[in-house]
């Protein structure tokens, strides 16, 4: 029921199987989250590929990132969806959480778009906590 949680599950399963990439259905929210993950260095890259010529359905191909060539250690240890469709979690600007004591990131949805916890503190904005990544 939750497309973002489905994307996180697909990424975690692909990491466990040591895959190079994983394909998930496209949405603007997923693209914004992947852009943040790429900017923060958690994934190599992502691209939008066209599934079929007739329809307007796109697929996102997420290229995963590992620390070593044998894929023994991965960059992403955990992806945790915080706000769920049944329970939205909001935070004011002075209560933005530190993920793993600053080693991870929190992805927040603010009125200026999706930002990381560090960017939200710099901007002085609170919002909905989408996910934690470490």
pTM of the model: 0.92
Give me the mean pLDDT over the 106-110 stretch: 98
Mean residue pLDDT across the chain: 94
- What are the structural domains of the chain? 1-75 (3.30.1370.30), 77-134 (3.30.1490.10)
Give the Cα separation of 13 and 24 in Å (integer): 12
Give the DSSP per-residue string, 71-85: --SBS-S-EEE-SBT
Give me the mean pLDDT over the 106-118 stretch: 97
Encode 21-59: b = buried (16+ Cβ within 10 Å), e = exposed: ebebebeeebebbbebbbeeebbeebeeeeeeeeeeebe
Token pair in block for residue 26? 């496209």
Interval 43-93: pLDDT, tens: 999 999 977 666 667 899 999 999 998 888 999 999 999 999 999 999 999
């Amino acid at each position: 029921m939750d497309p973002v949680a489905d994307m996180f599950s697909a990424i975690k399963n692909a990491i466990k199987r040591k895959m190079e990439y994983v394909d998930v259905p496209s949405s603007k929210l997923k693209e914004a989250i992947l852009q943040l993950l790429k900017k923060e260095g958690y994934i190599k890259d992502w691209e939008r590929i066209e599934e079929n010529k007739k329809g307007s359905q796109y697929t996102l191909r997420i290229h995963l990132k590992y620390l070593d060539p044998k894929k023994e250690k991965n960059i992403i240890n955990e992806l945790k969806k915080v706000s769920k469709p049944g329970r939205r979690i909001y935070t004011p600007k002075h209560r933005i959480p530190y993920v793993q004591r600053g080693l991870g990131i929190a992805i927040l949805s603010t009125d200026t778009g999706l930002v990381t916890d560090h960017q939200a503190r710099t901007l002085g904005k609170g919002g909905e906590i989408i996910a934690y990544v470490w």
